[in-house]
Chain A
Amino acid sequence: MAMKTSTSSNNSERAPLWPTLAALAAVCVLGVTALHQGTMGFAVVGTEDGRRLDIRRAPRLLPSAAIHQPQATTLARTLRDDDRVAIVSFVYTSCNAICTVLGTEFQQLQQEVLKRGLQRQVRLLSISFDPRDDSRALAAYAQRQHADAQVWQLASVDRADQRQALLDAFGIVVVPAPLGEFVHNAAFHVVGPDGKLVRVVDYDNPAQALDDALALSRSAGSRP
């Protein structure tokens, strides 16, 4: 009896610990859930890795943006009318930094496609996000890069809203940089004739981009 009294008096002096422990457990569950969500299941920390993982998990249907090649068309139409898988990259023709690298990678990809006779399954498409790039600028760029029109086409987007919608759909962020350059998350984008962006491959791995494009071409071809 005396024991019980002393315990209860003790309790009134010191609050029980269990409400704190329960609240702490709830905080930990919420916190870990938030971190799990923020890192896509503890898989990524950076935005670009997140974009690539997101597209790998759920291919994106691209909007039908108005483009010029140099004739006016839409992205959906050019993808559908040409039943090949497209490897898409974003460029601006006055670029001296990464676009030159991407251009060189595209040149090597073009050679690889021609050498292996894959031009019926895969094509290359460079889309400029620079409003200054008109048909003439693109034609000059194509000539500089020795683009074979059968394999490698270029496109510009005239209307600002269409351009932004396209960049948003791909998840491309263009940041103005010093010396009139742009910094953007450059990569190879594997796009099917159905207008779906299925895979994003790093620009230092063109062989993987080609493999992914061929795999998509085969799976699309095997469908009834």
Chain B
Amino acid sequence: MTRRHRQRRGAATISTAAGALACLLLAGLPRHWLEAAMWRHMLLQLPLLVAAGCLLGIALGTGPSRHGLRRAAIVDQHGITGLSAALFITAYWMIPRALEQSINLPLSEVAKFASLPLAGLLLAASHRRASPVIQLFFLGNFCWMTAIAGMQYQNLPQRLCNAYLLDDQLATGAGLVAASIAVAAAWCALHAKALLSNPDAPTPHATTGT
């Protein structure tokens, strides 16, 4: 690897890490404002926290500690451990009771600010180890879960959180359904080229096992 190449990669690592920090600050500094409405809480703050972890994962994957990260593959073959953990974490924060606890209990707030970046980090690290089929399995689970939660938020006549108004809950439900469709569409757009050109060839992401 040339020196110039290495320098360029170093700059990319630093800007990605800065992006992670920016997401974390955007989710944390105005947290009272974000958490005052259910839609801002679920559709802005939670994705920002996941994005922070995701960008950190990408930065670590290209940064000096990438070899250590690769060693984690021994407990995360095909990315199934990391993707499962990310799925559990996102599922937990879709429970309205858990969401509301995070605005009342400091311990729960700390857990939210720790677990969702972790989910993003695992997503970034594990999806590289997962073949498109495995990615699709977890994507399907996530989108199905998000859409069902979104529909429930809209169909139930009662408020699920005491801190949020019913109109807010309806808007959040619609937003969750839209988000589940958007995430699925984004994945398809990213993989369409690779899948359409040669469905049998491994994608550049799918370096499993080793």
Interface residues of A (CB under 8 A from B): 13-15, 17, 19-20, 22-24, 27-28, 30-32, 34-35, 38-40, 44-51, 171-173, 175, 177, 183-185
Contact = CB atoms under 8 A, between A and B. Distances in A.
A29 to B, nearest CB: 10
Contact of B92 (A34, A177, A183): A34
A44 B97 contact: yes
Report the interface size class on chain B: 20 to 34
A32 B89 CA distance: 10
Interface stretch (B132-140, B160-168, B181-189, B196-204): B160-168
B190 interface: no
B162 A20 contact: no
B84 A27 contact: yes
B62 interface: no
Nearest to A23: B75
Contact of B97 (A13, A17, A45): A45
Contacts of A30: 85, 88
A15 B84 CA distance: 20
Given A24-B80, A27-B85, A45 B74 contact: no
Contact of A175 (B75, B76, B164): B164
A24 B80 CA distance: 7
Contact of B161 (A27, A28, A47, A177): A47
B209 interface: yes
Contacts of A24: 80-81, 84
A173 B88 contact: no
B75 A38 contact: no
Nearest to B78: A20
Given A19-B75, A24-B81, A48 B209 contact: no
Interface centre among A46, A171, A185 (most CB of B within 10 A): A46
A223 to B, nearest CB: 34
A23 B81 contact: yes
Contacts of A46: 96-97, 158-161
Interface string B87-109: 11101100111101100000000
A35 B162 contact: no
Nearest to B162: A173
